[in-house]
Amino acid sequence: MLLSCRRIISPWLLGLLTLLSAGCGEDQLRRYDASVLALSDGQNETALADAKAVLGSGDGSLRAQASFVAGVAATRLDDPTAARRYLEMAIRSKNATLAGHALIQLGVLERAEGNRLAAARAFEDAASKLHGEESGRALLLAAEDFQSVGRQTQARQCLDRATTISGTTADKARLRLDSTGYAIQFGSFAQRSNAERHAAGVRAEVQRIGLGEVRIRLESGTWKVQAGAFPDRATAGRSLRRLGRGDALVVAIGG
C-alpha cells in the first residue's frame, strides 16, 4: 500500500511550482524551482541540498514550500528524523493545501516506519485541509491504517466522511464500509464444507433477530462464519446479547 501512497503524492510535486510567492528573491526562486525539478527527477540529494539552501530565505511562504520538498527528499533518503523535522515546518504553513500535502507525506513516512496509528492520524488531519478527491483519498488511507490497529470505529468514521465526497472516492468508501467494523462470529473452521454446515444451522436464528445474511469469509487461513456489520464493539455486543448464544462472539471484521 505504500506504493499507492506514493502514486497519490507524485502529481503534487510539480504543482509546487505554482505556489511561489510574489516578492521572493530571484535567486531563491531559481533554487526552489531547481529543488522541485530535482525531486521530480528522483535526484533526492540534490533536491534536499537546494531546498535547505532556500530555508534560509526571509520569505515564510517560500520556506514552507521548501521544507515540504526537503521532507519528501529526506524521506526518500531514509532519514526519518530529518524528514519529520522538515515536514512539521510545512504542516505549520498558512497554506492549507501545502499543509495537507505535508501531512500526507508524514503519513507515508509513519506507515513506512510501521507507525500505523500515527499514519492514520496524519492522513485524517490531511483530509481536513484538502478538498474533493484529495481529501477523500486521504480519508481512505486513514481508514486503512485505523483498521490495521483495530480502531474500527475511527476507520468507519473516516469512511463515512469519504462517502459524502462526489466521485469514485465515495463508491470506494461505501464498498469498504461493508468490510470494516465488527461482526458476530459463530465459528472458525479449517474446511469450508464445515463452515457451510455450521452457517446453515445458525441462519434461521440470525435472520430472526434481523442480522441479515450469514456470510462465510476466508481470513488468516480459516473459514469464518459471521453475521452483521456494526460500527463499534458495544453495538455488536448488544446484538450478541439478544442472540443469546454462548458459542458466538464479537470480532473485528478482517481481524
Per residue in 152-180, pLDDT (tens digit) is 888 888 998 999 887 788 888 888 887 77
Q: What is the per-residue pLDDT for 24?
A: 52
Q: What is the per-residue pLDDT for 74?
A: 95
**What are the DSSP calls for 143-158, one per residue?**
HHHHHHTT-HHHHHHH
More confident residue, 212 or 216: 216
Region 93-122 average pLDDT: 94
Q: What is the per-residue pLDDT for 224?
A: 93
C-beta separation of 20 from 29 below 8 A: yes
Q: E-assigned strands of the chain? A: 182-189, 215-219, 222-230, 249-252
C-beta separation of 71 from 92 below 8 A: no
Inform me whether the pLDDT recorded for 240 exceeds 70: yes
More confident residue, 195 or 23: 195
Bridge partner residues of 249 (DSSP): 185
Instruction: Please report, as a single letter, which amino acid is at residue 220.
Output: S
pTM of the predicted model as reported, rounded to 2 decimal places: 0.72
C-beta separation of 141 from 243 below 8 A: no
Region 96-119 average pLDDT: 94
* 178 grid coordinates: 461493508
Inform me whether the pLDDT recorded for 36 exceeds 70: yes
What does the domain layout of the chain look like in residue ranges?
A: 2-177, 182-252
Inform me whether the pLDDT recorded for 223 exceeds 90: yes
Q: What's domain 2-177's architecture? A: Alpha Horseshoe (1.25)
Bridge partner residues of 223 (DSSP): 189, 218
Residue 85 CB contacts under 8 Å (≥ 6 apart), including other chains: 71
Binned at pLDDT 50, 70 and 90, residue 11 comes out as: very low
**In 3-state terms, what secondary structure has residue 118?**
helix
More confident residue, 9 or 188: 188
Q: For residue 78, what are the CA distances in angstroms to 72, 82, 84?
A: 10, 9, 11
With 0-12 CB in 10 A as exposed, 13-18 as middle and 19+ as buried, what is 246?
exposed
Inform me whether the pLDDT recorded for 111 exceeds 80: yes
Region 169-192 average pLDDT: 86
Model confidence pLDDT, tens digit, residues 60-74: 788 899 999 999 999
Q: What is the per-residue pLDDT for 25?
A: 62
Q: Check if 2-177 and 182-252 are the same fold.
A: no
**Ranges of H-type helices in 41-95:** 44-54, 60-76, 80-91
Percent of the chain at pLDDT above 70?
89
Q: Which CATH number is associated with domain 182-252?
A: 3.30.70.1070
